[in-house]
Amino acid sequence: MTPLARFIAPGFWLRTRAMLVKEFIQLRRDRVSFAMIVMIPLMQLVLFGYAINTTPRNLPTAVLMQENSDLGRSVLKAFENTRYFRMVAQVHDEEAFDRLLASGEVLFAIEIPRGFERAVRRGERPALLVAADATDPVASGTALGALSQIVQTALQNERALPDAGKPLFEIRQHARYNPAAVTAFNIVPGLVGTILTMTMLVFTALSVTREVERGTMESLLAMPITPLEIMLGKIVPYIIVGFLQAALIIATGMFLFAVPVLGSLWLLAALSTLFIAANLAIGYTFSTVAQNQLQAVQMTMMFFLPNILLSGFMFPFAGMPAWAQWIGECLPLTHYVRIVRAIMLKGSTLADVHYDALALAGLMLVAMAIAVSRFRRTLD
């Protein structure tokens, strides 16, 4: 029978209609898949429309005031008026100045030197120092570009100043940690966490559902073994796999792209292991919720999307609205991106990244507790 004859044969449209109805009924019953169809495009629209901002403003800034003068305060006000800088801390020595930048608590640090006002009134054109955390060039680049505007407008309303026809002071920029704005220095450390997130989630999200679909769950349930022991037995092998993945990515970045590792490799290895365990615990939680492997993969993708968009890997974290930053703080990748960039590019110590390390540990413990509580000793 020719294709055309099959198309017009009696009962063709009736059978096709029956198949269509069957698929729609099956889709309606698979609530997880239906939710993904609706939620993923909505999530992308909301995140890209409201949370993503490639020209971030109100970036956290520290100030080192070597003198308390009217002109110094006018200059700081000019910084704030650009809306790129938000003064969050005032320090009293250079050690604290450097520590805030190294810990990632601020993205900029401004130093107003001693004798600034006197030098301005004498027409000596003193220099201010603006140090920027350049580990994320996108976040700092636009703000640094606004510095020339500050030089021109900061003191235009002040009186009794020399009229030399040129700027009364200058700003010296110091882009730290990635002064040449090398893209690989920013991307490669973030890729470590991104690749680990994807692979670790998928590996463990399929673990329990695979046992159920293959019919081997009955054997596990018949054994004298606790849910915690089952979970650890499934997670530990993948911790080793993830550790090897991280080592491969970092080594490749070092040798192919000359990405530096200024901090302790032991600290990086320990916190990478913690990050891997956190993602494996979350993936295991998905496997206890999903009814089949397809649902497990769908849940993984649903969780992976906000990790990519809200972690600071692709877009500046500081430029996101407060609600998006709150969500980002609940994602393991957000904390790991900060950790790996700080250790590799800044040479940070555990004291500098302790907040993100504790956050990873907390997220891992919460995910493990949920996974163990949901694991059933009997099959439904």
pLDDT tens digits, one per residue of 47-72: 767 667 777 888 889 998 888 888 88
Vertex 265 angle, CA 262 and 269, to 5°:
135
Contact yes or no for 82/54 (Cβ under 8 A): no
Tell me, letter by letter, the H, E, C secondary structure of 250-279. HHHHHHHCCCCCCCCHHHHHHHHHHHHHHH
On the CB side of 329, CA atoms within 13 Å amount to 11
For residue 33, what pLDDT band results from cuts at 50, 70 and 90? Answer: low
DSSP-derived letter for residue 317 is G
Measured between alpha carbons, how far is 61 from 79 in angstroms, rounded to an integer? 10
Measured between alpha carbons, how far is 45 from 49 in angstroms, rounded to an integer? 6
**What percent of the chain has a predicted confidence (pLDDT) above 90?**
14
- Tens digits of per-residue pLDDT, 65-116? 888 888 888 888 888 888 888 888 888 888 888 888 888 888 899 998 888 8
Among all chains, which residue has been given the structure tokens 């692979």?
A: 199
Provide CATH 3.40.1710.10 ranges for the chain.
59-176
SS3 state of residue 333: helix
**What percent of the chain has a predicted confidence (pLDDT) above 70?**
86
SS3 state of residue 88: strand
CATH of domain 59-176: 3.40.1710.10
Neighbours of 212 (CB within 10 A): 18
Among all chains, which residue has been given the structure tokens 């849940």?
A: 299
Check residue 379 and give its pLDDT.
Answer: 46
Among all chains, which residue has been given the structure tokens 């295991």?
A: 284
Sign of the CA dihedral with 47 first, then 48, 50, and 53 last: positive
Quote the pTM value: 0.82
Measured between alpha carbons, how far is 246 from 28 in angstroms, rounded to an integer? 40
Measured between alpha carbons, how far is 261 from 341 in angstroms, rounded to an integer? 9
Q: What element of type H or E holds 147?
A: helix 147-153
Angle between helices 293-310 and 265-289 (to 10 degrees): 140
Contact yes or no for 278/332 (Cβ under 8 A): yes
- Tens digits of per-residue pLDDT, 221-273? 677 777 777 778 878 888 888 889 889 989 998 898 888 889 899 999 999 99
